[in-house]
């Protein structure tokens, strides 16, 4: 049945009724057009394979480079912690140090991965589209080009706003994790002193401050994302208007060039405008770098001061004499040497 239907459709497509009532055989299709379309299809497939291989290589290199950076950062941070004095360790409990390392490393890994690649890809696409469209008509390209600087300015405002809140969020998040770890590690002490409500109130107070900062950060992120889309559509409308004027004035020979230039630059500009959250992740990674290196650079150097002799090995015996200790509420000494 399907074969008969296919033969019937082919027969009807091969013959068309003439205006005199008869039937004349016509040729359907264009071999030259089909050949050119197939050439473009094969070229697109070839470029797709090349882009796939390059993207795979890019992802592998970025991941390996990020892992090496994070490994070196962990080593430097742990080395700085080991060189700190007792006063610094008393002010910074183990929960704060552990949370500061793990959370900042996770943020840096998220910011240095594919997010950085997408930013580079977005700016490269926008630049290449401008160069290609400038050869067709530089006047319309110049008008549409304004989308790039305006989108970049909006992204810059987004990073500046997030920069003010990211450092505060990191500090408060570290405090929150430190309170949780302190409660878990010292659970018996907390229970014995009836400190559950105190720890809950302390944690709730920190979380309320974190919630306020997150609401503020997400509001500005959504506002600037919407502003970037508004700029893109606004400039697209202006570009189409001036493109039509240039076509009717004879500056542009083909009407399709107007659609080609506007769509090419606007699509890449739209992709560039969608990179606002990725720019925010990159800014958070930079803030995490600053917090970690603030701890690393604050550690004293282990080499000693200039002119002092170094002790490579120390051997000896330590002897305790007349050492006694007792609690204030007890008369019996618990330690006597």
> Domain range for residue 278?
65-298
- Average pLDDT of the residues in 261-268: 83
Predicted confidence (pLDDT) at residue 187 exceeds the cutoff of 90: no
- Residue 152 within any structural domain of the chain: yes
Q: Report yes or no on 304 lying in a domain.
A: no
Average pLDDT of the segment spanning 206-219: 83
Distance CA 324, CA 336 (A): 4
Domain membership flag for residue 259: yes
The strand pair at 15-17 and 23-25 is best described as: antiparallel
CATH (domain of 234): 1.20.1560.10
pLDDT in tens, 103-136: 788 888 877 777 777 778 888 888 888 888 888 8
Q: Is the pTM of this model over 0.85?
A: no
Q: How does residue 42 score in pLDDT terms, banded at 50, 70 and 90?
A: very high
Q: How far apart, in whole angstroms, are the C-alpha atoms of residue 66 and residue 61?
A: 8
Taking the C-alpha atoms of residue 147 and residue 153, their distance in angstroms, rounded to an integer, is: 10
Which H or E run contains 23? strand 23-25
Q: How many CB atoms lie within 10 A of CB 132?
A: 14
Q: Is residue 155 part of a domain?
A: yes
Gap between the Cα atoms of 81 and 242, Å rounded: 62
- The number of folded domains in the chain is 1
- DSSP assignment of 142-203, as one string? HHHHTHHHHHHHHHHHHHHHHHHHHHHHHHHHHHHHHHHHHHHHTHHHHHHTT-HHHHHHHH
Report the C-alpha gap between 262 and 232 in whole angstroms. Answer: 11
Residues counted in the chain? 337
Q: Which residues contact 287 (CB under 8 A, 6 or more apart)?
A: 163, 166, 167, 170
Is pLDDT at 303 greater than 80 in this prediction? no
SS3 assignment, position 336: strand
| pLDDT, averaged across the chain | 77
Residue 291: inside a domain, yes or no?
Answer: yes
90-126 burial, b at 16+ Cβ within 10 Å, e below that, comes to eebeebbbebbbebbbebbbbbbbbbbbbbebbeebb
**CA–CA distance from 38 to each of 29, 173, 234 (Å)?**
14, 57, 36
Cα separation, 300 vs 83, in Å, equals 6
For 136-162, the pLDDT digits (tens) are 888 888 888 787 777 777 777 777 777
From the list 150, 135, 158, the residue with the least C-alpha distance to 269 is 150
Residue 14: predicted pLDDT? 45
Q: How far is CA 224 from the centre of its chain?
A: 16
Is 271 within the bounds of a domain? Answer: yes
Q: Distance between CA 271 and CA 66 in Å, rounded?
A: 24
Percent of the chain with pLDDT over 70: 84
Evaluate whether residue 204 is within a structural domain: yes
DSSP H helices in the chain: 2-14, 31-82, 86-91, 94-112, 114-134, 138-145, 147-185, 187-192, 196-248, 255-273, 276-298
Answer whether residue 15 shows pLDDT above 70: no
Q: Would 35 be classed as within a structural domain?
A: no
**Cα(41)–Cα(259) distance, rounded to whole angstroms?**
21
Residue 129 CA to residue 265 CA, distance in Å, equals 6
**DSSP assignment letter at 300:** P
């Amino acid at each position: 049945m399907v074969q008969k239907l296919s033969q019937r459709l082919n027969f009807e497509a091969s013959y068309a009724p003439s205006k005199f009532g008869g039937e004349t055989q016509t040729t359907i299709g264009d071999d030259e057009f089909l050949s050119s379309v197939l050439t473009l299809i094969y070229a697109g497939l070839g470029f797709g394979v090349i882009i796939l291989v390059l993207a795979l290589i890019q992802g592998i290199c970025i991941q390996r480079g990020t892992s090496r950076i994070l490994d070196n950062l962990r080593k430097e941070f742990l080395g700085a912690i080991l060189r700190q004095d007792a006063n610094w360790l008393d002010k910074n409990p183990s929960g704060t140090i552990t949370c500061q390392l793990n959370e900042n490393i996770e943020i840096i890994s998220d910011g240095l991965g594919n997010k950085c690649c997408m930013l580079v890809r977005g700016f490269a696409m926008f630049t290449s589209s401008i160069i290609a469209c400038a050869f067709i008509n530089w006047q319309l390209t110049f008008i549409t080009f304004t989308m790039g600087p305006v989108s970049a300015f909006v992204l810059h405002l987004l990073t500046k706003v997030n920069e003010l809140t990211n450092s505060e969020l990191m500090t408060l998040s570290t405090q929150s994790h430190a309170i949780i770890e302190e409660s878990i590690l010292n659970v018996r002490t907390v229970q014995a002193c009836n400190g559950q409500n105190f720890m809950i109130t302390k944690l709730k107070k920190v979380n309320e401050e974190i919630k306020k900062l997150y609401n503020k950060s997400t509001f500005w992120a959504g506002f600037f994302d919407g502003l970037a889309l508004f700029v893109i559509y606004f400039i697209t409308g202006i570009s189409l208007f001036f493109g039509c004027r240039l076509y009717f004035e004879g500056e542009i020979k083909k009407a399709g060039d107007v659609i080609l230039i506007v769509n090419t630059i606007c699509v890449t500009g739209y992709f560039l405008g969608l990179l606002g959250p990725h720019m925010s992740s990159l800014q958070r990674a930079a803030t995490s770098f600053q917090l970690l290196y603030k701890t690393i650079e604050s550690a004293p150097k282990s080499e000693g001061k200039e002119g002092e002799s170094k002790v490579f090995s120390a051997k000896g015996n330590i002897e305790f004499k007349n050492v006694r200790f007792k609690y204030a509420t007890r008369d019996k000494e618990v330690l006597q040497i």
